[in-house]
Amino acid sequence: MSERSVSKSREQKRWYSVLAPEQFDRQELGETLAEEPDQVVGRTITTTLGELTGDSGANNTKLTFKITDVGSDTAYTEFIKYELTRDYLRSLVRRGASKVEASITVLTTDDYRIRVQPVALTTKKADRSQEKAIRRVMIDKVHAAAEDRTFESFVDAIVDGNLSSAIYGEAKLIYPLRRVEVQKLTLEARPSEVAAEEETAVDVDAEEVAVDADE
């Protein structure tokens, strides 16, 4: 493609300002280039919590947003992932101590399915039963948080550190802890997708019941 063709193609495209959801005060996340608005929908953009809040101490947290709607020159997003950076996670690990992890899938009160991955770092090496007990606390606390919160408020509880604090407060009674973090949260399914899956599951069950009755 000639330089003139490339230049002409770029001129036909336009920039769209990408905004965070209202939960994050509609802050501008950046810009994206496209010829048509529908080409923008589905794109993702990742930033740090520090860039959104102006707190450089929060640059170890990455937030990913997905574009779901486009206006005249503005793209609107939904939050889909919270994740700690690998460098930060590596800095938490100490030789001779335990790293206890869990991966928990829950449904919020407004029917968002999310996967939550907390991690607890002990001061010294815990035994297997203690690690198991700490993991149980993680699972119970994440389930309890989901039962009481919408998707948005659940995300807030992680971003604000409230869920980590709740896990720490109980798990430290099992074995001394140095730190508890939620290393990752991922949006797995929206309410409409969850409803569609449940409807499909019901249809399958009904077919199985019908087959059993015929037999």
43 CB contacts (<8 Å, ≥6 apart)? 32, 66, 67, 75
Dist CA 95 CA 123 (whole Å): 10
Q: In Å, what is the CA distance from 53 to each residue of 87, 100, 210? A: 21, 29, 56
Specify the pLDDT at position 98. Answer: 97
pLDDT digit string, tens, across residues 123-135: 999 999 999 999 9
pLDDT category, 137, cuts 50, 70, 90?
A: very high
Both tokens of 57, joined, read 């101490």
Q: By the 8 A CB rule, do 45 and 30 touch?
A: yes
Dist CA 88 CA 101 (whole Å): 16
- pLDDT above 70 coverage of the chain, percent: 88
pLDDT digit string, tens, across residues 17-45: 999 999 999 999 999 999 999 999 999 99
Give me the chain's average pLDDT, please: 91
Q: In Å, what is the CA distance from 132 to each residue of 50, 89, 92, 183, 201? A: 34, 21, 20, 18, 32
- Flag whether pLDDT at 151 surpasses 60: yes
pLDDT category, 214, cuts 50, 70, 90?
A: very low
Provide mean pLDDT across the span 163-172.
98
Specify the pLDDT at position 199. Answer: 87
pTM, two decimals, is: 0.86
pLDDT digit string, tens, across residues 63-79: 999 999 999 899 999 99
Q: By the 8 A CB rule, do 143 and 199 touch?
A: no
- Flag whether pLDDT at 161 surpasses 50: yes
